[in-house]
Amino acid sequence: MFALAALLSLPILPGAAAEAPRPADPAALEQAWRGCVREAYAHQSPTQGRAGSQRNALDECKAREDAVVAALMAARTDDASGRGARSLPARARAWAASVAAYVVDPVSSWIAMLRD
């Protein structure tokens, strides 16, 4: 069983390994996953129901789907760490804007309402 899995994981063509998408490229990974799902769905038995064929196609491409999700999560983590590196003045402006939105604006509107 292990030998079969190892044999199936080998690239068929010498240049096939070079064509594999980079692990950090979510768009290329998603495109490869969609292609895998389409190909797997095309090879399903015609006597099988549509829902079963869809489920089986998704099951066949689960590893690629996991790679897409991992790449998207890594990209989201990179974006979040970039936001945490803002300078002190930028963070102060953001805090002042939030205070203005949640405190000053409602109070000023109440005062304007009382004057009328």
Give residue 103's pLDDT band: very low, low, confident or very high (50, 70, 90). Answer: confident
Q: Are residues 33 and 80 in the same domain?
A: yes
Question: What is the C-alpha separation between 18 and 45, in angstroms, rounded?
Answer: 32
Q: Does one domain contain both 78 and 104?
A: no
Structure tokens at 85: 């590196």
HSE-CB at 81 with a 13 A cutoff on CA atoms is: 6
One domain, residues 91 and 65:
no
Predicted confidence band of residue 80 (pLDDT cuts 50, 70, 90):
low
Same domain, 79 and 104: no
Ramachandran bin of 16, using left for φ above 0, alpha for ψ from -120 to 50, beta for the remaining angles? alpha
Residue 47 maps to a domain: yes
- 67 and 32 co-located in one domain: yes
- Are 59 and 81 contained in the same domain? yes
pLDDT in tens, 63-77: 999 999 999 888 887
Find all residues with CB under 8 Å of 48, minimum gap 6, and list them.
Answer: 56
pTM across the whole model: 0.50
Residue 102, domain extent: 87-116
pLDDT value at 99 more than 70: yes
pLDDT on residue 112: 84
Q: Reply yes or no on whether the pLDDT at 106 is more than 50.
A: yes
Is residue 94 in a domain?
yes
Question: Is 50 domain-assigned?
Answer: yes
Number of domains composing the chain: 2
User: How far, in Å, CA of 42 to CA of 47, rounded?
Assistant: 13
Which pLDDT value is given to residue 36? 95
